[in-house]
Amino acid sequence: MGRLRDALAGPGLAAIAEIKRRSPSAGDLRPGADPAALARSFAASGAAAVSVLVDERFGGSLDDLRAARATAPLPLLGKGFFGSEEDVDALAEAGADAVLVLLRDLDDELAARLQARARELGLDALVEAHDAEELERAVQLGADPIGINARDLSSFRIDRRAQLELVARAPRDCVVVAESGIHSRAQGVAAELAGADAILVGSALMRAEDPAAKLAELISRPVVKVCGLTRQEDVDVAVEAGADCVGFILARETPRRAPGVLSAPDTVLRVAVFVGETEETDADLVQLYAREDGHRARDAVLIRDGREVARVVDLPWEREDRAHLRRAAAAEGRVMLAGKLGPENVAAAIRAVRPWAVDASSSLEVAPGVKDADRVRAYVAAARC
């Protein structure tokens, strides 16, 4: 396999940062974009690869690819509407490591020819699908990596839920890239938990005052969760403070029982927390504790569509544990660290454990289920340091 697939196949969620001056759906994004400077800054900010729009409808050209090649050591994806082996040759000559193969515009015979030519030249082919039929075509073509685009290129409408369903259905032995419509860290997390190895982000970066800083924000960890929310005004504070996840405890044995899964924008994930048994909700994720002696067990699992996606490492019920952080640091896979975290100790806990996510509830309250807005803001800020 080539450089692009290898760069995206490592642990954690990788990011392809895209350079485009304009979009047919949104108009001008960054008309004065400097591909060389952007590629250099994206490399310094944690991108695994850089995508360069070379199509004039996006304000791009092969010269943009050459400029990015001169400054970025990362794999470069040449992106456009390609329909011939000569297009692939031109991308290779300009310095691309990979080519976009857009199944919407190609029949299987031509797509296979483009893939074959890319292989001959040592390039990867990112084969892009928009629906279930195209995903099946990509699989039959032996595509790897596979891109799943949330944007319908006919209507330009974003359907993130449909995208996540396709990501979850894609073969696990392929590198899967979730493309389009990602503007927040939580939206990237949603793609990761559905099974994506990487996200491709363009418009959100091009609109940002500092594109490299926006990229770093989208891929930074830990994910920050505020739990035990019972009031809409507290949800709003958590979202405004920058939390990625908001949690609603629906177990019967807690004074922090929420009236339900309250509303929040799609820039964050809503988590329904249960003990012992679950109920149907419209939450994005479920956090499930076993029930022991009438209370929740020590640890929990984070579940997406019935599949465990992370482990919650918590304190024992109503007791301290001096080995808590060491135990969490030794856990494998995605770890959400919970247990008496707050503004005063979350940064030290993050340094000790390096968790995928952190979770706080009671330490942010003035009364059970009632949050202190200043402490919520201070906790989120401390977790970002």
Indicate which residues carry an active-site annotation: 18, 20, 79, 128, 149, 179-180
CA end-to-end distance (rounded Å), the chain: 37
Burial of 380 (0-12, 13-18, 19+ CB in 10 A): buried
C-alpha to C-alpha distances, 367 to 345, 362, 370, nearest whole angstrom: 20, 8, 5
Q: CA–CA separation, 184 vs 366, rounded Å? A: 29
Q: CA–CA separation, 308 vs 89, rounded Å? A: 44
Residue 92: phi and psi, rounded to 5, are: -60, -40
